[in-house]
Amino acid sequence: MYDVWQIRKDFPILQHGVNGGPVVFLDTAASAQKPHQVLDKMRTVYETAYANAHRGSYTFAEEITTEFEAARRTVQNFVNAKEAREIIFTRNATESINLVAASWGEKNLHVGDEVLISQAEHHANLVPWQNICEKSGAKLVVFPIADDGSYIKEEYEKHLNERTKLVAITAMSNVLGTVFPIKEMVKSAHTYGAKILVDACQYAVHQKVDVQDWDCDFVAFSGHKTYGPTGIGVLYGKAEILSLMPPYQFGGDMIDHVTYQKTTFADIPARFEAGTAASVQAIGMAEGLKYMLALGMENIEAHEEELTNYATMRLNEVPRLKQVGTAIDKGGVFSFDVTGIHPQDLAFVLNKENVAVRTGHHCAEPLVNRMGYTSLTRASLGLYNTKEDIDALIAALLKAERFFRED
């Protein structure tokens, strides 16, 4: 049984409240709240076993190195990678994507090549490809989505060709909630010999990631969205591809041998983890993943699907509100506009009702513009949300709509 009220007790911040009342947190798409299991684990490591991983031979160093590599195996299990060495720890998903662009991209992209992305990409899966294409002479190609935010198979496949060297695609839009058919898209990309990178930041919070089933070449996601700490992210890459990529950054612990004349580099994953590791953050991230796995990804998905359907229905009750992104294959992300109310003003009123949402272009300005807006309000779900949270959102929106209409 998925007991959401029992689950909520694991999240101290949800018990804390704001403005003298309970908080309705609907901004998990930006960053998820943390269960005490994550907080307790990180505190324990800092208090009992903190040292620099992979650096010392004393007890603390050995203990944290063991925990750090156990965290890597937890991530391996979470995404179903073949080998633990296919898991690279980064600062966040943004760095993971930049690593691929800088390392794989600079080596493999040339004049005449193409990188294919969708209109639904976050800046982190757009700007790095713009940059590497400018440097390499390759061309960035963008395939369109439908007016309701849906994936258009014909448009994707029409833009694939022998010049396509890499496809970079979100698994779930952070603005529209659209879920893309990754396995099908990978198969099409590989038909042309293209590599494919999946931005799984939103998807990994809600549904199971299986890199072997997808057969994708790279996957990026962040710890802070999967109920872990900030400052830690993951890049998954197939071992045979990562092994041929040059280092992204240079420094300690990523080398094999150094002289003043020449340096040789370590094997993966160390080659891509220069400098002092964010070891405690990685351990905390693993604890967040274990928390999700213990609840059951299928249970989280079922709970959130029920909430998504309920929220979609109830948002239609708000006068002058238009939902932006209404694809059939959609997760718990709701962007909307209320005619006559600026999103920032709307969020201000919602905050007075203790409802936390986000406004703006959500680091996806071209996508928001494509949908016909410059700014949108966004509510997003996590595993701790309830129908009562949705009801509170609707009540606050109705109050705001009446206030601005009368004003």
C-alpha dist (Å) from residue 342 to 36, 131, 337, 362, 364: 36, 33, 8, 15, 18
* Structure confidence at residue 1 (pLDDT): 80
Active site residue 363: yes
Query: In terms of domains, do 262 and 380 share one?
Result: no
* Structure confidence at residue 9 (pLDDT): 97
* Domain end point (choices 294, 329, 349): 294
Query: In terms of domains, do 199 and 287 share one?
Result: yes
Query: In terms of domains, do 103 and 21 share one?
Result: no
* Domain end point (choices 238, 271, 294): 294
Query: In terms of domains, do 290 and 209 share one?
Result: yes
Number of domains within the chain: 2
Query: In terms of domains, do 202 and 342 share one?
Result: no
* Structure confidence at residue 224 (pLDDT): 98
Query: In terms of domains, do 18 and 60 share one?
Result: no
C-alpha dist (Å) from residue 39 to 12, 13, 135, 295: 10, 11, 42, 18
Query: In terms of domains, do 135 and 233 share one?
Result: yes
Query: In terms of domains, do 363 and 226 share one?
Result: no
**Residue 199: which CATH number?**
3.40.640.10
Query: In terms of domains, do 207 and 109 share one?
Result: yes
Torsions phi, psi of 279, nearest 5? -65, -45
* Structure confidence at residue 168 (pLDDT): 98
Q: Which of 115, 283, 123, 124 is nearest to 194 (CA)?
A: 115
Full domain range(s) for residue 225 = 39-294
Tens-level pLDDT at each residue, the chain (407 residues): 899 999 999 999 999 878 888 899 999 999 999 999 999 999 999 999 999 999 888 999 999 999 999 999 999 999 999 999 999 999 999 999 999 999 999 999 999 999 999 999 999 999 999 999 999 999 999 999 999 999 999 999 999 999 999 999 999 999 999 999 999 999 999 999 999 999 999 999 999 999 999 999 999 999 999 999 999 999 999 999 999 999 999 999 899 999 999 999 999 999 999 999 999 999 999 999 999 999 999 999 999 999 999 999 999 999 999 999 999 999 999 999 999 999 999 999 999 999 999 999 999 999 999 999 999 999 999 999 999 999 999 999 999 999 887 76
Across the chain, mean pLDDT equals 97
Contact 92, 231 (CB under 8 A): yes
Query: In terms of domains, do 134 and 212 share one?
Result: yes
Of 133, 201, 216, 363, which one is the catalytic site residue? 363
* Domain end point (choices 294, 310, 343): 294
Distance (Å, rounded) from C-alpha 240 to C-alpha 225? 28
**Residue 15: which CATH number?**
3.90.1150.10
Query: In terms of domains, do 211 and 311 share one?
Result: no
Query: In terms of domains, do 89 and 198 share one?
Result: yes
- Residue 100, CA atoms < 13 Å, CB-side half-sphere: 33
Quick: pLDDT tens for 27-61.
999 999 999 999 999 999 999 999 999 988 899 99
Beta bridge partners of 235: 88, 220
